[in-house]
């Protein structure tokens, strides 16, 4: 129990700090968006790159972790799709959007840093695999599902290629690929670059959670129950 509290307390404390900072007008409405952009483009890529370099490549990937995760994803998608279809059968796009949203987990932005904090470097390989697969499932699969739900002719090839192009330009995917290539081709990272990378990686989770808290304070859910 103490271990769970030890991990969860700083996470919720950082979210609370962001929440109250916005409520007390210590940060303005633009701050959360700026922080999220900073984390996504400038902190998460070094975090992923450094973690991949530090990962034990001999550990391998436990397929049971992926099976358990995507079994849960499949169940959630099925429940969301069937319940949405009952309520919005007249509009297939709403059904598709609600179904995709139910499985669009924040694995890259928050999930992986939190899991690594809790379980250490042993969580890196399965975490990175889930980030890669989630991008394929949500971006490609979601785009195809929305296309199929549209009233016009289905352009499977065009939609799939556009979705794959977005994945290739994704900074998280780029950093993962670069990290893997660096491990295979170089292996050793110069100390000054390691220190810079570690400094940026260590700032990832605090900034991400603070931004989340500020965003929660900024957003209002009233009047959006039908979305």
What is the C-alpha to C-alpha distance for residues 219 and 109, in angstroms, rounded to an integer? 19
Q: How many CB atoms lie within 10 A of CB 111?
A: 15
At residue 20, the pLDDT reads 94
Is 92 part of a structural domain of the chain? yes
Instruction: Quote the domain boundaries for residue 103.
Output: 2-217
Residue 205 counted as domain residue: yes
Q: Are 69 and 133 in contact (CB under 8 A)?
A: no
Q: Is the pTM of this model over 0.95?
A: no
* Domains: count for the chain: 1
Q: Residue 15: what pLDDT? A: 92
Q: How confident is the model at residue 115 (pLDDT cuts 50, 70, 90)?
A: confident
Please determine, for residue 35, whether its predicted confidence score (pLDDT) is greater than 50. Answer: yes
For the ranges 21-35, 72-86, 131-145, 148-162, the lowest mean pLDDT is seen at 148-162
H/E stretch holding 142 reads: helix 142-149
Lowest-confidence pick of 143-147, 207-211, 223-227: 223-227
The model's confidence at residue 34, banded by pLDDT at 50, 70 and 90, is very high
pLDDT at 220 over 60: no
By the 10 Å C-beta count (0-12 exposed, 13-18 middle, 19+ buried), 10 is classed as middle
Dump pLDDT digits (tens) for 117-164.
Answer: 888 888 888 888 888 888 888 877 777 777 777 656 567 777 778 877
What pLDDT shows up at residue 154?
61
* 41 belongs to a structural domain: yes
Residue 223 lies in a domain: no
Per-residue model confidence (pLDDT) at position 4? 72
Per-residue confidence (pLDDT) for residue 133, from 0 to 100? 87
- The mean-pLDDT minimum among 4-8, 42-46, 82-86 falls in 4-8
Q: Where are the beta strands (DSSP E) in the chain?
A: none
In this predicted structure, which of 2-6, 179-183, 196-200 has the lowest mean pLDDT? 2-6
Residue located via tokens 């971006």: 139
pLDDT score at 108: 73
Answer whether residue 227 is part of any domain: no
Assess if residue 226 is contained within a domain: no
How much is the pLDDT for 68? 92
Q: How many residues does the chain have?
A: 227
104 or 149, higher pLDDT:
104
Domain-located, residue 11: yes
Does any domain span residue 106? yes
CB contact at 8 A, 35 and 210: yes
Q: Is 194 exposed, middle or buried (0-12, 13-18, 19+ CB in 10 A)?
A: middle
pLDDT at 227: 47
């Amino acid at each position: 129990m103490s271990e769970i509290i030890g991990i969860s307390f700083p996470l919720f404390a950082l979210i609370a700090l962001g929440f109250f900072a916005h409520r007390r007008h210590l940060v303005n409405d633009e701050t959360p968006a700026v922080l999220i952009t900073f984390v996504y483009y400038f902190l998460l890529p070094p975090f992923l790159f450094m973690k991949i370099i530090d990962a034990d490549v001999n550990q391998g990937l436990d397929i049971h972790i992926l099976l358990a995760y995507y079994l849960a994803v499949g169940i959630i998608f099925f429940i969301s799709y069937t319940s949405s279809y009952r309520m919005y059968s007249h509009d297939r796009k709403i059904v598709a959007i609600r179904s995709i949203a139910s499985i669009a987990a924040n694995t890259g932005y928050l999930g992986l840093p939190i899991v690594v904090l809790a379980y250490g470097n042993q969580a890196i390989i399965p975490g990175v695999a889930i980030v890669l697969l989630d991008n394929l499932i949500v971006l490609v699969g979601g785009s195809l599902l929305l296309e199929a739900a549209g009233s016009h002719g289905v352009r499977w090839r065009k939609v799939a290629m556009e979705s794959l192009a977005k994945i290739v330009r994704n900074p998280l995917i780029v950093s993962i690929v670069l990290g893997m290539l660096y491990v295979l081709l170089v292996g050793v990272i110069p100390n000054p670059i390691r220190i810079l990378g570690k400094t940026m990686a260590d700032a990832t989770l605090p900034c991400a959670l603070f931004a989340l808290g500020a965003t929660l304070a900024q957003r209002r859910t009233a009047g959006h129950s039908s979305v």
